[in-house]
Structure 1
Amino acid sequence: MFQLQWIWHNLKGYRKFYVTALVLSIVCNALYLTTPYFSKELVDKFLSSKDALFNLEHERKLFWLLLAGMVGFTLLRTICQYTCNMTYELSSQGMIYRIRTHLFRRIENQDMEFYDRNRTGDLMTRLTGDLDMVRHAVAFVFKGMLESCSLFIASSVYFFMVSWKMALLLLAVTPFIFGVVVLLDKKAKPVYVDLREKLSQMNTDAQENISGNRVVKAFAREDYEIEKFQKANKEYSDANKKASLLWLKFFPYMEAFANALSVVMLLGGGFFLIKGEITMGEYVAISGLIWGIANPVRNLGIYVNDMQRFMASAMKVIEIYYARPIITDREDAVDQTERLHGDVEFKDVTFKFGKHIVLDNVNFKIKAGQTVAIMGETGSGKTSLINLIPRFYDTNSGEVLVDGVNVRKRKLSQLRSQIGMATQDVLLFSDTIDGNIAYGDSDMSEEDVKHYAKLAAANEFVEKMPDGYETIVGERGVGLSGGQKQRLSLARALAIKPAILILDDTTSAVDMETEKYIQDSLRNLDFPCTKIIIAQRISSTKDADMIIILDDGKITEMGTHDELIAKKGYYYEVFKLQNDGFGKEAV
């Protein structure tokens, strides 16, 4: 099975430990045979024998040796079992650390299409619950299956050595148990796949609700969300019950057959003892080791259950483990370490989401250092357009050029490290304000952090906070206003001194006075920078070197403020709406 090959691959560095643990498991179970052997010798020589009293008087040394042997091998088995368990734990923890690190690296390097396709809650389930199930299988399930098999085989061999007739009589029951196990395995697989999907859906619902708690409260939809979660929770609970009931459905049969072994032992063993075919010591030995057959077949159902859980979880982990991003560096990618100039050009660019055309034959050119504003109605393709510049997505046709080179031919890390972005959906990390602004350069000095905060009009409100730049902001910037978060996002984008600065509605939540301050700062940056601004305010766009109007993925207007006013198209209408109502003529 591929899952087992994958496990073996990820045990690299710990394979010797794991194989040692497997061998120790077999040794430990072989040592279980010593107790019945010593019991048999003690009973036959010193209890049931006609010469028992004589043997006890004249072979007292042997008596104590047998007792010491029983105790000694029991202690040896205990030490061996402890070492075995510790080795399994060491191997499984090392393996799971390796897999989790690889998974996170794989997820981090995926392109935007991957995140569009996969739910956050599902990814979190794979990194946590599914990985825990994989570790449980390596540390406990595989161990238990090997121990059960080795104990069953060792016990069977011992029974044949004592009495082959008794051994056959006992083993005649086991095919019925294996038949039940095979049937359970067949029915359990789809049940556990469904159970895992229900868990993923429940985690996704919980994650979305926690992330969007402000929206929930704003619309007073707490009861709706509780009901929605309860539905997912009930589906998961029902799936769990279904899995448990499936096991309970087969458990009575397995338990009955396992207990039947004791009945067979009592009747068959008694018959052979009366007939003189086995001694009392041999009967005691077989009776004392009957659990060596009963327990493994009884536990087999539990391990089949856990194996199906492991298979379902492992496949989900493996999907991410081997996932490859579509957008990667080409082998002939340009290796440019020097700073970009900032020229940007779109040549006949068409971009689709599925079958829906988002951008249709878009053409424009931005010279280094220019400021370009992009406007258009919601859904016109503005954000999709700027996402093509850092190559978050690839075009379906046409080219996006930066400094005359197709972005497909540039190394992603070199391209993106010189593009500063402040998006409309602001994300601040659970860190200090200083840490958030210096996110692109962890070694940035405190003076530089303050400098870029001032450029983004953020220094004033940060200084008023109790801990200043050391203030911890919550996940997604909880505790800050929308405008404050936007200004910190802008400071973070400016802090890397980008060759191309992309602002997606970055000043929509700030007042006019603050916006004017930010615009003045952007015009007087202390480094060369091409600025691409998505905005709906005329105040944000009127001073741009070029304004592009998008409508349904197509460029309908392009020019300066004065040129677009003269055309009296979309831009002109927006200008009128934002300047004291309808009907006012542009001057």
Structure 2
Amino acid sequence: MFQLKWLWHNLIGDRVRYIVALILSVVGSALTIINPYIGQRIVDTFIAGDDASRNLTTERSLLIGLCLGMIGFSLLRTGLAYFTTLMYERASQNLLFRVRIYLYNKIQGQDMSYYDRNRTGDLMTKMTGDLDMVRHSLAWIIKTIIESLTVFLAAVVYFFYIDVGLTLWLLILSPPIFIVAFIFARRVRPMYTDLRERLSQLNTTTQENIAGNRVVKAFAREEYEVQKFTEKNVNYSKANKAAAMVWLDYFPYLETLAQAFNVILMIAGGLLVMNGKLTFGEFSAFSALIWGLANPMRNIGIIINDLQRFVASLNKIIEVYYAHPDIVNAHKGGVKRRYSGRIQFDQVSFKFDNTTVLDNISFTVAPGETIAIMGATGAGKTTLINLIPRFYDVAKGRVLVDGTDVRQLELDELRANIGVATQDVLLFSDTIDGNIAYGNPDMPEEDVMKFAKLAAAHDFIRKMPDGYDTIVGERGVGLSGGQKQRIALARAMAVQPPILILDDTTSAVDLETEEHIQKSLRELEFACTKIIIAQRVSTTAEADRILILDNGRVIEEGTHAELIAKRGYYYDVFKLQTEGIGRQANAHG
């Protein structure tokens, strides 16, 4: 029942059309008894009746009228069926369009933890195959149920009108058919839930393999990936075949019972005709309309099959439809104010899956100040900066921007004031110009070039086949790691944010390019607070302050000179890197 309520809710705008389609389905299906009735009149009046010969002569106009009536009602039913199908399709396609947009917006509005829990392939399956199954159900399955039920009831009513006894003999078959169908439905339901999960796994494997094709080729693991895909495909195929075989297990019973209608009609109906209790015309009406009982019974298994698929798909869609993010973006309108860029961490702790990642972090960044963060892998550096734009919420403490807890700020405004460039760069399948101007699509071309120059990207972009109009492949395929990082840096600076967060964005560039970028960051034309995660001392040396993280705690804090003097973690890294550079210089010398 809940599924039907969901469908009705999402039919807003097409409810009248869908109700009209349902009414026309009932009317068109009910008209199926007209032609058998006309056929009965023709047989009894002009073929098998006592006065058949005389009627052929005297009532010829009636015969022509009845024949024309059969043709007319056949055409009417055909026209109604066409018009009804058109309305079903229009309503279902409109629902598909609306729900797909809604789901996409819903997914866009989810927080980072949602993406941590859900696989990309699973979300893709929900947005495509599952939605199309719902559309198919709305346009065809419900239509088939309504039409089959109407034809069955119309046939039963007409049969009772002709002969009650023969009708009761025919209806003896109904209870065993419903029992078989009920057992089939109970058995097949969990199989389609499992089948849907296996399809999701197959799509996830496919998506990950295509997205990571370079890694696969780099490690020559094509054979392994083919084997992994084949395994998922075999699992899906087995589940599909198992569900199909269940239907085949019950098909002979349903088909035999459906065919038994004709057997009962021949035996019981034949006896009634021989005894004179049933006319040839009435028997012909039973024969012409017996499919009205047999076909719905025959189709009941197929309908149950499709309904189970529909329920499995709809439940997956509803999971997304009613998913609520913990971090809500209200998308309030109005003019977005520009922040001054003051950031404060006040006794901040953060946990991920009950594992403490940050523990009691406190520090303040003044507007325009540059803070560098350094620490071993897994120290919590990226998690720390993810709390500023509120990709995640703190477990304890507060993160404040301009003196206000980020949980009280409007997300669109907060994130519009922050430029982010990460080490793991994602570029869109667009031009280089489009990628740099992603945050401000109306940005003039000269500004795009200006920020590309600041990020030391202009020179290599000019050498590209179409310059700034060069189409970047998916995720930046065709560009080196350093080139992608520089485009991402230009994209972050292009929105001229009062807060700029750089997560190891110069790790893949040479020292000369890094020096150019550092100079650009120092000489930005707009006021900007900069938080830079880096592993190179050459990047952190000129920061106003440096924080050293270890196991989620700040273990050192100070300027480059102060931390060298402390002879702690930072000093060890400095010594290691400067000695390494010295050895390289000697080797080249």
Which TM-score band applies after superposition, normalised by the shorter structure?
over 0.9
Match of 1:90? 90
Match of 2:560? 561
In the TM superposition, 1:112-123 aligns within 5 A as 112-123=112-123
What is the one-letter code of the residue matched to 1:412? L
In 2, Cα distance between the equivalents of 1:337 and 1:468?
33
Q: Do the aligned residues in 2 keep the contact of 1:329 with 1:410 (CA within 8 Å)?
A: no
Match of 1:100? 100
What is the one-letter code of the residue matched to 2:204? T
Residue deviations 1:512-533 (CA, integer Å, cap 9, x gap) = 1111111111111110000100
In 2, Cα distance between the equivalents of 1:330 and 1:321?
17
Shift of 1:334: 13
In the TM superposition, 1:245-256 aligns within 5 A as 245-256=245-256
In the TM superposition, 1:368-379 aligns within 5 A as 368-379=367-378
In 2, Cα distance between the equivalents of 1:337 and 1:250?
64
Residue deviations 1:346-405 (CA, integer Å, cap 9, x gap) = 010000002110000001111010111000000000000000000000000001011111
Shift of 1:583: 11
In 1, Cα distance between the equivalents of 2:333 and 2:403?
12
Greater mean deviation of Cα atoms: 387-396 or 462-471: 462-471
Shift of 1:581: 3.8
Shift of 1:335: 8.8
Match of 2:392? 393
Q: Secondary structure at the match of 1:473?
A: coil
In 2, Cα distance between the equivalents of 1:342 and 1:260?
82
Match of 1:312? 312
Match of 1:32? 32
In 1, Cα distance between the equivalents of 2:109 and 2:546?
34
Residue deviations 1:251-270 (CA, integer Å, cap 9, x gap) = 11000000000100110110
In 2, Cα distance between the equivalents of 1:161 and 1:468?
82
Match of 1:380? 379
Q: Secondary structure at the match of 2:507?
A: coil
Shift of 1:469: 1.1
What is the one-letter code of the residue matched to 1:377? A
Q: Do the aligned residues in 2 keep the contact of 1:334 with 1:410 (CA within 8 Å)?
A: no
Match of 1:342? 341
> Please, what TM-score do these two structures have when normalized by structure 1?
0.98
Match of 1:110? 110
Whether 1:232 aligns to 2:232 is: yes
**Which residues of structure 1 form unaligned runs of 5+?**
none
Match of 1:532? 531
Whether 1:504 aligns to 2:503 is: yes
Q: Do the aligned residues in 2 keep the contact of 1:576 with 1:583 (CA within 8 Å)?
A: no
What is the one-letter code of the residue matched to 1:429? F
Q: Secondary structure at the match of 1:578?
A: helix
Match of 1:143? 143
In 2, Cα distance between the equivalents of 1:274 and 1:72?
34
Q: Do the aligned residues in 2 keep the contact of 1:335 with 1:410 (CA within 8 Å)?
A: no
Whether 1:495 aligns to 2:482 is: no
Shift of 1:185: 1.0
> Please, what TM-score do these two structures have when normalized by structure 2?
0.97
Match of 1:202? 202
Match of 2:324? 324
Q: Do the aligned residues in 1 keep the contact of 2:429 with 2:472 (CA within 8 Å)?
A: yes
Greater mean deviation of Cα atoms: 43-52 or 305-314: 43-52
Residue deviations 1:130-163 (CA, integer Å, cap 9, x gap) = 0011001000000001111000000000101111
Residue deviations 1:265-291 (CA, integer Å, cap 9, x gap) = 110110110011110011011001100
What is the one-letter code of the residue matched to 2:214? R
In 1, Cα distance between the equivalents of 2:323 and 2:141?
27
Match of 1:447? 446
Residue deviations 1:135-194 (CA, integer Å, cap 9, x gap) = 010000000011110000000001011111111111111111011111111111101000
Shift of 1:336: 8.0
CA RMSD, aligned part only?
A: 1.5
Shift of 1:580: 2.3
Q: Do the aligned residues in 1 keep the contact of 2:173 with 2:261 (CA within 8 Å)?
A: yes
In 1, Cα distance between the equivalents of 2:494 and 2:151?
65
In 2, Cα distance between the equivalents of 1:557 and 1:214?
39
What is the one-letter code of the residue matched to 1:422? A
Greater mean deviation of Cα atoms: 256-265 or 465-474: 465-474
What is the one-letter code of the residue matched to 1:356? T
Residue deviations 1:536-556 (CA, integer Å, cap 9, x gap) = 011111000000000000000
Whether 1:214 aligns to 2:220 is: no
Match of 2:571? 572
Alpha-carbon spacing, 1:223–1:434, altered in 2? closer, same or farther (3 Å): same
Shift of 1:329: 5.2
Greater mean deviation of Cα atoms: 286-295 or 456-465: 456-465
Q: Do the aligned residues in 2 keep the contact of 1:342 with 1:500 (CA within 8 Å)?
A: yes
Match of 2:471? 472
What is the one-letter code of the residue matched to 2:276? G
What is the one-letter code of the residue matched to 1:169? W
In 2, Cα distance between the equivalents of 1:582 and 1:510?
15
Match of 2:188? 188
What is the one-letter code of the residue matched to 2:24? L
In 2, Cα distance between the equivalents of 1:336 and 1:411?
12
In 2, Cα distance between the equivalents of 1:583 and 1:313?
62
Match of 1:261? 261
What is the one-letter code of the residue matched to 2:365? I
Q: Do the aligned residues in 2 keep the contact of 1:438 with 1:492 (CA within 8 Å)?
A: yes
What is the one-letter code of the residue matched to 1:513? E
Q: Do the aligned residues in 2 keep the contact of 1:329 with 1:408 (CA within 8 Å)?
A: no
Q: Do the aligned residues in 2 keep the contact of 1:209 with 1:216 (CA within 8 Å)?
A: yes
Q: How many residues align?
A: 583
In 1, Cα distance between the equivalents of 2:576 and 2:334?
48
Match of 1:124? 124
Q: Do the aligned residues in 2 keep the contact of 1:329 with 1:409 (CA within 8 Å)?
A: no
Match of 2:303? 303
Q: Do the aligned residues in 2 keep the contact of 1:359 with 1:552 (CA within 8 Å)?
A: yes
Q: Do the aligned residues in 1 keep the contact of 2:330 with 2:411 (CA within 8 Å)?
A: no
Match of 2:587? none
Q: Do the aligned residues in 2 keep the contact of 1:103 with 1:321 (CA within 8 Å)?
A: yes
Alpha-carbon spacing, 1:334–1:363, altered in 2? closer, same or farther (3 Å): farther
Shift of 1:337: 2.9
What is the one-letter code of the residue matched to 1:527? F
What is the one-letter code of the residue matched to 1:373? A
Match of 2:273? 273
Match of 1:543? 542
What is the one-letter code of the residue matched to 2:377? T
Match of 2:586? none
Q: Secondary structure at the match of 1:32?
A: helix
What is the one-letter code of the residue matched to 2:372? A
Match of 2:170? 170
Alpha-carbon spacing, 1:334–1:125, altered in 2? closer, same or farther (3 Å): closer
Q: Do the aligned residues in 2 keep the contact of 1:360 with 1:554 (CA within 8 Å)?
A: yes
Q: Secondary structure at the match of 2:328?
A: coil
